[in-house]
Amino acid sequence: MHELALSQGIIDVIRDQAAAQGFTRVKTVRLVIGTLSHVEPEAIAFGFDAVSRGTIAEGAALDIERPPGQAFCLSCEKPVPLPGRSDPCPECGGHQLVVTGGEEMRVKELEVE
């Protein structure tokens, strides 16, 4: 379950930011997890709950934004939506796609006290 390690990484980011900015409690963590990222939001929520215990993020709400997959089709020579990593181009049915969005995972914002 790599989401547990990713959740620990989120806690590490929070600790670093708390040290740099001097806050003592996190109320909300806003994440961006792209639909093509191979990260399950439910597993992140479970892992975050586990690894945040005893930290300044314990009890913090998770707000997860899920940007859709995007690609550039080399056959059509245009950007297209990409619901799944192995899906064909919705325009031409081809598979010559370069993913351009929806793979990200990052901490977007922290609401703190």
What CATH number should be reported for the domain whose range is 2-112? 3.30.2320.80
Q: Which residue, 1, 10, 5, 2, is CA-closest to 64?
A: 10
Q: How far apart are CA 89 and CA 72, in angstroms?
A: 9
Query: Following DSSP, what letter does each residue of 65-88 receive, concatenated?
Result: E-PPPEEEETTTTEEEE-SSTTPP
Paired tokens of 113: 């006290």
Residues contributing to the annotated binding site for Zn(2+)? 73, 76, 89, 92
pLDDT digits (tens, 9 = 90+) for 21-71: 999 999 999 999 999 999 999 999 999 999 999 999 999 999 999 999 999
Paired tokens of 58: 């314990």
Residues contributing to the annotated binding site? 2, 73, 76, 89, 92
Q: Are 41 and 33 in contact (CB under 8 A)?
A: yes
Instruction: Please give the mean pLDDT across all residues of the chain.
Output: 96
Q: What is the pTM of this model?
A: 0.87
Residues contributing to the annotated binding site for Ni(2+)? 2
Domain ranges of the chain: 2-112
